[in-house]
Structure 1
Amino acid sequence: MKTSRRIFLAGAGAAAAASTFAGAARAQNLIDSIINSSRRGAWGDQFDAQVSEVGEVSSTRPILSPETVRHVESAIAEYSRITAQGGWPVVPANKKLQLGVIDPDVELLRRRLMISGDLSTQAGMSPAFDSYVDAALKRFQARHGLPADGVTGHYTYSAMNVSARIRLGQLETNLGRVREQTSGSLGNRFVMVNIPAAEIEAVENGRVVLRHTAIVGKIDRQTPILTSKINEIILNPYWNAPVSIVRKDIIPEMRRNPNYLADNNIRLIAPDGNEVDPMAVNWSTDEATKYRFRQDPGRINAMATVKINFPNSHAVYMHDTPQKQLFTDQERFHSSGCVRVQNVRDLVTWILRDTPGWDRRTIETTIQTEEDQRIPVANPVPVYFTYISAWSTGSGVVHFRDDIYGRDGVEELQISTAL
């Protein structure tokens, strides 16, 4: 397949900007010009948009689209070129570099950011961490799903010092995933959960209309890959604990605190439907697994106010959570396989748009009653749980995420587990 030759690196000057770095010799001349260029002024110097804006990271283009295939192919062509030319330098991970710092390692940081296209070569070389570097580092962090604070911490260094060769392999691996996922019709409206990014896209007419931060499964309780259709919304749901959670979490908690079920509004239901007194159960054994653990609706319910249902063999679903603070975590791999959704009521309103009688006001009013309400979705919305850890949606911007479940097959990409 012929791929486009999009150039991610800006030129070092007018002549370099007009070229496409066709050969290794010309590419080396570019790097030499970067290294030998005149040094910039103080870190607080102002800069223009041409230097600082080398491509917006955010986009309304969905990850799951045929266009993404073409953009990833272009990224592979560019990363193949970068790899053939020696990749990028390792930046020593022993200093906190940020705006205002003057340090020799900043020159290595500049060179690293220039090669990956985050910093324009017009910024020149200098040991000063100036506004050019600050904007470029924030762009790099955003592309890697990190807090864009402009400070080099452990995660930033770890992501930065993954070699170009490994990143190339990551792109090649994920190209196959995107191709497979987009080989058929996805639907005019669909929801996509990207597990490594812990992020959700609601897509309509080829455009991302909503983007939500998510919490997905732990390494030992992974969120599965699946395809289904969202067919039901439950407001103020009861929560029925899976047997795995009963064994791993609830039984140990009851051994420590006999009031755990009462404190969390969880009722023990026998197979005949009758409620069982927890004090009548032998918690030193697995006897409790023969009962159903049902949590009443309410603020402390594990699903909080909303459950999003879709048929699947894994018994997983999407839902609200009372633990809203977890959405601010850098690593959002806390669940037992289900997917928690930030600002879930926005997503539910969009899903129920074609379901008569369920506008946002009605949804909010019903939630206030704290009574269980099941709503069949008039036009079930396709939902895709995917595992895409590297992609590009154009504009020369390439995204990478931590291979949290180790499915890319390279240890260096499991950054979270290594720190």
Structure 2
Amino acid sequence: MCWLWVTPSIAQVTAFKQAVAEAASTDSDIAAFYRSNDFEPLWTGKSSEHQTRRVELIRALSAADIHGLSPARYNVAALLQQMEAARTTRDLGLVEIELSKTFLQYARDVQSGTLVPSRIDSGLVRQVPYRDRTAHMTNFARSSPREFLKALPPQSAQYRALMKEKLRLEGVMENGGWGPTVSAGSLKPGQGGAPVVALRNRLIAMGYMSRSASQSYDTQIEKAVRLFQQAHGLTADGVAGKGTMSEINVSVQQRLKSVIVAMERERWINMELGPRHVLVNQTDFTAKIVDNGKVTFQTRSVIGKNTSDRRSPEFSDEMEFMVVNPSWYVPRSIVTKEYLPKLRNNPNAVGHIEITDSRGRRVNRANANFSQYTARNFPYAMRQPPSSRNALGLVKFMFPNRYNIYLHDTPSKSLFDREVRAFSHGCIRLADPFDFAYALLARQSDDPKGKFQRILKSGRETKVMLDMPVPVHIIYRTAVIDPKGKAEYRRDVYGRDAKIWKALENAGVTLGAVQG
């Protein structure tokens, strides 16, 4: 009989590889990485390279809080204890895989977010750009550990500024916050007394005015209130009315929550947004065109009404064309919920809307018995022809998507004067749609205004293709840092950020010391 003698070193290597293969078997991506590398260690080898990887990973995990993540999520203490207690080759194999699992968990969290948006709220339909996990490990093995880990979080200027604001607010909390809240429901220029002093002190603490001993609501306080209002999306009239006072009294902790949530949201869109893109921030009620990081066009917007069936969703897509003099093909939900009940009572109701059959032929209302139909069996479609009274106005901007959301004009111009502009069925209405169209067409026409106006004056429904599709990102941020590095805050109009914060809390994220 022939015996194959195996040296202890070979036996140890074999035992290590077996332990690694066994421990990795529950994670297909990790198993694939180790198989392709003949089960060689990434972390637990004896070389200085292996040691550096371990040190840099532990350093990153321990500092997860700077990204608004929870270090407890990665249980660094238990990881270190497991490493310290490893005595056998099998122990080392188990440590090896535990380090890889923790590395991949951290990499995903800090790069693409801790939460899955769709599990938080039905309006969060954004597709997060998750990276390939096996490729992560392969690239890490070939890179400088510190540089690789530093490159994982979003590299956007917005993310870096949010990190800075988080640090600033934590410092404010440690020093006692912004002081007592203002007890008055509202205040205006000329008033005096303790509430005005409290307002003055709070504005000073928040950085909107320099130190002052004034006891009255003077021009300095009025100017500070205007600055505060501008930074919070409020009507900048210098009067601390009910809405303004409510925002002034928001605590440091609440603002910090907004910043941490904004950081998570920034991780959800950690991708190339496009050198030219359209950015719609729902809480800010604005739509912007951004070219190479700079806002080149901005207009006010109206978003979906705050009801379960009308809130505007959050997602990204590509604008492909615009339709000048559009028809409005009424969504089935509006037909059955809003118009059918009216037609049952009066066949001539909503007379500005055409009713058409399955072949597109216009239905004679006098011959139709609408009372026999329900929302389920109503057989007709409804269409509003092009006109200045059309619900879509005179132009719509299309980025075809499953949610039937687009940007468009509107005949209801007065709504743009409101402070909170949540009134639509879900689509985004623009205050200056013609100028928006000119800005989009400027890249492909020497006379964008003239071209648009000629099509408009024809009265005909006309599709105008964009030579280069433009990415559209519909976001929702209650904390944004402006180009000058100043933080701006907005109301949580749909309550989505509150849900996200609750989910982050459940994942172990905390604010530290609680201050007012």
TM-score range, shorter chain: 0.7 to 0.9
What's 1:129 paired with?
217
The 2-side partners of 1:143 and 1:159 are apart by 11
What's 1:285 paired with?
373
Answer yes or no: is the 8 Å Cα contact 1:98–1:152 preserved in 2: yes
| Cα drift, residue 250 of structure 1 | 1.5
**Bigger shift: 358-367 or 251-260?**
251-260
Other structure's SS at 1:345 match: helix
2:166 pairs, out of 62, 76, 79, with 76
**TM-score relative to the length of structure 1:** 0.78
- Which is bigger in relative contact order (C-alpha 8 A, separation at least 6)? 1
1:152 pairs, out of 240, 256, 262, with 240
What's 2:320 paired with?
231
The 1-side partners of 2:501 and 2:272 are apart by 34
**Bigger shift: 79-88 or 220-229?**
79-88
Give 2:294's aligned amino acid: R
The 1-side partners of 2:369 and 2:346 are apart by 14
Answer yes or no: is the 8 Å Cα contact 2:231–2:489 preserved in 1: yes
Residues 112-166 of structure 1, C-alpha deviation per residue, up to 9 Å, x if partnerless?
1111111122xx1222111111111011111111000011111111111111111
What's 2:195 paired with?
105
The 2-side partners of 1:143 and 1:302 are apart by 32
The 2-side partners of 1:178 and 1:83 are apart by 24
**Pairs within 5 Å for 1:9-408:** 66-88=156-178, 89-94=180-185, 96-121=186-211, 124-181=212-269, 183-220=270-307, 221-255=310-344, 257-262=346-351, 264=352, 266-279=353-366, 280-283=368-371, 285-286=373-374, 289-356=378-445, 359-408=448-497
| Cα drift, residue 268 of structure 1 | 0.8
Answer yes or no: is the 8 Å Cα contact 1:189–1:382 preserved in 2: yes
Label 1:399 to 1:255 Cα distance change in 2 as closer, same or farther (>3 A): farther
Question: Would you tell me which structure has more helix in proportion to its own residues?
Answer: 2
Label 1:410 to 1:93 Cα distance change in 2 as closer, same or farther (>3 A): farther
The 2-side partners of 1:296 and 1:323 are apart by 17
Larger radius of gyration: 2
Answer yes or no: is the 8 Å Cα contact 1:200–1:214 preserved in 2: yes
The 1-side partners of 2:155 and 2:218 are apart by 38
Label 1:257 to 1:300 Cα distance change in 2 as closer, same or farther (>3 A): farther
Answer yes or no: is the 8 Å Cα contact 1:202–1:211 preserved in 2: yes
| RMSD, aligned CA | 2.4
Label 1:412 to 1:231 Cα distance change in 2 as closer, same or farther (>3 A): closer
Answer yes or no: is the 8 Å Cα contact 1:270–1:276 preserved in 2: yes
| Cα drift, residue 326 of structure 1 | 0.6
Answer yes or no: is the 8 Å Cα contact 2:343–2:370 preserved in 1: no
**TM-score relative to the length of structure 2:** 0.64
**Bigger shift: 149-158 or 97-106?**
97-106
| Cα drift, residue 357 of structure 1 | 7.5
Give 2:157's aligned amino acid: E
Residues 57-97 of structure 1, C-alpha deviation per residue, up to 9 Å, x if partnerless?
xxxxxxx9811111111111111111222222211133x42
Other structure's SS at 1:251 match: helix
The 2-side partners of 1:308 and 1:193 are apart by 13
May I ask how many residue pairs the two structures share in their alignment? 348
Answer yes or no: is the 8 Å Cα contact 1:229–1:310 preserved in 2: yes
Answer yes or no: is the 8 Å Cα contact 1:304–1:322 preserved in 2: yes
